[in-house]
Amino acid sequence: MSNKDTYKRKHRYLDKQINSLEKHNHYNRSLISSLKKKKLRLKDKMISDSRGVARKNKYNLQEYIKRALSMTAWQSFLYMIYYTYATQNKWVMQ
């Protein structure tokens, strides 16, 4: 299970807890507000992680294009094969 799935599961769990407390324990506002803050921090973490992944993918694509343009046709072809194989097998590009 990925971090994204874990974050979503925790987010749903907190949402259910908050809704339950608001329905039945309306007098315990401090607990409800702390859970809401925790839920917001979790949402921020999910967003920052997804931006980090997008940034990494963008950087890899830019590096791929830059390297491919600076090579001869044969080198470019070999690099394309390597890059395709590496991304399908989730290798980290050096």
Tens digits of residue pLDDT in 34-66: 999 999 888 888 888 777 777 776 767 777 777
Number of domains in the chain: 1
89: enclosing H helix or E strand: none
- Pull the structure tokens for residue 26: 């309306």
Please give the backbone phi and psi of residue 71, each rounded to the nearest 5 degrees, phi first: -105, 165
Per the domain annotation, does 93 fall within a domain?
no
Per the domain annotation, does 55 fall within a domain?
yes
Spatial neighbors of 81 by CB under 8 A, at least 6 apart, are none
Per the domain annotation, does 53 fall within a domain?
yes
Q: How confident is the model at residue 24 (pLDDT cuts 50, 70, 90)?
A: confident
Top pLDDT among 8 and 54 is at: 8
Rounded CA gap, 48 and 54, in Å? 10
Please give the backbone phi and psi of residue 18, each rounded to the nearest 5 degrees, phi first: -60, -45
Per the domain annotation, does 14 fall within a domain?
yes
**Mean of all residue pLDDT scores within the chain:** 77
Per the domain annotation, does 44 fall within a domain?
yes
Per the domain annotation, does 94 fall within a domain?
no
pTM (predicted TM-score): 0.52
Per the domain annotation, does 49 fall within a domain?
yes
Given a cut of 60, whether residue 94 has pLDDT beyond it is no
Residue numbers of the domain that contains 44: 3-88
Per the domain annotation, does 54 fall within a domain?
yes
